[in-house]
Structure 1
Amino acid sequence: MKQKLLLTLSILFFINSYSQQKKIEFQLSLGPTFSIPKTSKLNNSDINGNPEIKTSINIGAFILPSLNYRLAEKTSLDIGLGFYMDRFTIEDRNANVISEGNRSVNQIQTPININFHFGNNNSYLFGIGGFSSFLLSAKEKGESRINSSGFTTGGDIPIENPLVTNMSQNFDNDIKNKYNSVSFGAFIQLKKNISFSTKTNGFLLLKINQNFNSIKNNHSAPGIGLIEFKNEKEPTTINLGIGIEI
């Protein structure tokens, strides 16, 4: 217990010493995260009813405590540990079944990047870096329905059964097994330092994230014949935020 207390006091003393030298700044940023629309063709056959997944813009949120360490006059390093809730509007088509709803992916991210300062008083920071992501939960909620216009009676006459036409079902699925528990990505960001008051400084943030391996590679289905399933495209998100130096 004494050793842990001594280690904690040593770390706090180290951080405080650097903070007094203006090398380290504690920062807290938060704001919305926007998903980028994508369409994933899930097979390469040209038969009718090829499955595909379309994502549309939806709004989530993030909160990111971080440290900014000044390396030199025009360079600095950001290290953070934050919570991200990414949300996507989903349209999943598989033959005559159409599923529409929302997907929410909650995760802990540990971004790290180097900043290059420019502009008046070096108030602009362009950063490039990467992140590790630790999955907390992933859920999908919406409605599935059958489109009877694609059914046939064996000839050229489609089925027009109103019971089939109106068939639908709500779903609320845990899709955590669709994602890797640990994944990685890269991002670029732009910061603009601002002053809230004479004693309080902050910044505006624009960040573009690209995931590399968040979705599991489990969609392949060899030996089916014409259909060769491909992976769903990795998500891309944009963060808009406002931050404060603590």
Structure 2
Amino acid sequence: MKHFYFFIILISYLTHGFSQNNRTSFSLALGPTLSIPSTSELTNSNVDGRPQIKSKMNIGLFVLPSIKYSLNEKFSLDFGIGYYLDRFSVEDKLGAVSNEGNRNVHQIQTPISYNLHFGAGNAYEIGLGGFASFILSAKEKGDIITNNSQIGIVDPNDPTFSYNSTVSYSKDIKDNYNSVNFGAFLQIKKNITFSESKKGFILLRINQYINAIKNNDSESDINQYIEFKNEKEPMTVNIGIGILL
């Protein structure tokens, strides 16, 4: 939460200190960010139990103050600096052992987009852009589940026998990410009116990270015939509402 409070202070400062003119406007957008499910096959081996990482849908949040500069009636540029919390539900499998948990990735993003305005009264806007992301922290919490029936380490006749044993874990995974990474996005906005004096917009943005994960290829000293591959780069969707300040 300390990252969120920091951005509340930053937003207040920018709102007070930003001087508007006929070509520029200041806005604040916020809402949920959703991870896109994916599966990474982490080796080229066809052996059962090869490493896999499966992502499931989860909900984070974003807060994005930004400046719009109008080039003309049809085109504009957006510049922003925002706080993003991306959350991923993951299942990391290796043979009979599965790590099932949630990743929380806190970051600062600086998106820039080139926008086309269209429709009646230029009420709609489509933009294409890129962003730099600065990782603040990344953590993963969950359970390590071992399927004992697959590895035969216990006697089924033992009264304490359980097919699945579970141990909770919590780890810092910031080192798994590049401290500075980049991505691209496509966004759509629709202008809305809150009142006679207040206007805003609704926002849909699809983000594709390019080099967020370090993805250092692992080398196996045990079996030279197994080649380790890279984990897929994350994709997220931002759905938000904004207000012009």
Provide TM-score, normalisation by structure 2. Answer: 0.88
For 1:59-98, what per-residue CA distance to the aligned partner results, in whole angstroms no more than 9, with x for missing partners?
Answer: 0000000001001110000000000000011111011101
CA contact 2:148–2:165 (8 Å) conserved in 1:
no
How many angstroms apart in 2 are the aligned matches of 1:119 and 1:91?
44
For 1:2-44, what per-residue CA distance to the aligned partner results, in whole angstroms no more than 9, with x for missing partners?
Answer: xxxxxxxxxx9x963xx232x1000000000000000000101
How many angstroms apart in 1 are the aligned matches of 2:139 and 2:226?
27
Aligned to 1:226: 225
Aligned to 2:215: 217
How many angstroms apart in 1 are the aligned matches of 2:155 and 2:39?
29
How many angstroms apart in 2 are the aligned matches of 1:40 and 1:106?
22
How many angstroms apart in 2 are the aligned matches of 1:219 and 1:135?
21
Which letter does structure 1 place at the counterpart of 2:109? Q
Matches within 5 A, 1:1-246: 16=19, 19-21=20-22, 23-152=23-152, 160=156, 163=161, 165-221=163-219, 224-246=223-245
Which letter does structure 1 place at the counterpart of 2:204? L
How many angstroms apart in 1 are the aligned matches of 2:54 and 2:215?
18
How many angstroms apart in 2 are the aligned matches of 1:83 and 1:37?
22
Instruction: Give the secondary structure class of the aligned counterpart of 1:185.
Output: strand
Say which is worse superposed, 82-91 or 210-219, in terms of deviation: 210-219
Aligned to 2:4: none
CA contact 1:139–1:172 (8 Å) conserved in 2:
yes
How many angstroms apart in 2 are the aligned matches of 1:39 and 1:217?
15
Shift of 1:149: 2.7
Shift of 1:132: 0.0
Which letter does structure 2 place at the counterpart of 1:151? I
CA contact 2:180–2:212 (8 Å) conserved in 1:
yes
Aligned to 2:6: none
Shift of 1:174: 0.4
Which letter does structure 2 place at the counterpart of 1:195? T
CA contact 2:155–2:161 (8 Å) conserved in 1:
no
Percent identity over paired residues:
53
Instruction: List 4+ stretches of structure 1 deviating above 3 A.
Output: 158-164
How many angstroms apart in 2 are the aligned matches of 1:173 and 1:86?
16
CA contact 1:77–1:113 (8 Å) conserved in 2:
yes
Quick check: which has more Rg, 1 or 2? 1
How many angstroms apart in 2 are the aligned matches of 1:159 and 1:151?
11
Say which is worse superposed, 223-232 or 50-59, in terms of deviation: 223-232
Aligned to 1:7: none
Number of matched pairs: 227
Instruction: Give the secondary structure class of the aligned counterpart of 1:135.
Output: strand
How many angstroms apart in 1 are the aligned matches of 2:137 and 2:18?
33
Instruction: Give the secondary structure class of the aligned counterpart of 1:72.
Output: coil
Shift of 1:159: 6.0
Residues 15/101 of structure 1: CA separation in 2 closer, same or farther (3 Å cut): closer
How many angstroms apart in 1 are the aligned matches of 2:82 and 2:234?
18
CA contact 1:151–1:159 (8 Å) conserved in 2:
no
Which letter does structure 2 place at the counterpart of 1:103? R
CA contact 1:146–1:164 (8 Å) conserved in 2:
no
Say which is worse superposed, 118-127 or 164-173, in terms of deviation: 164-173
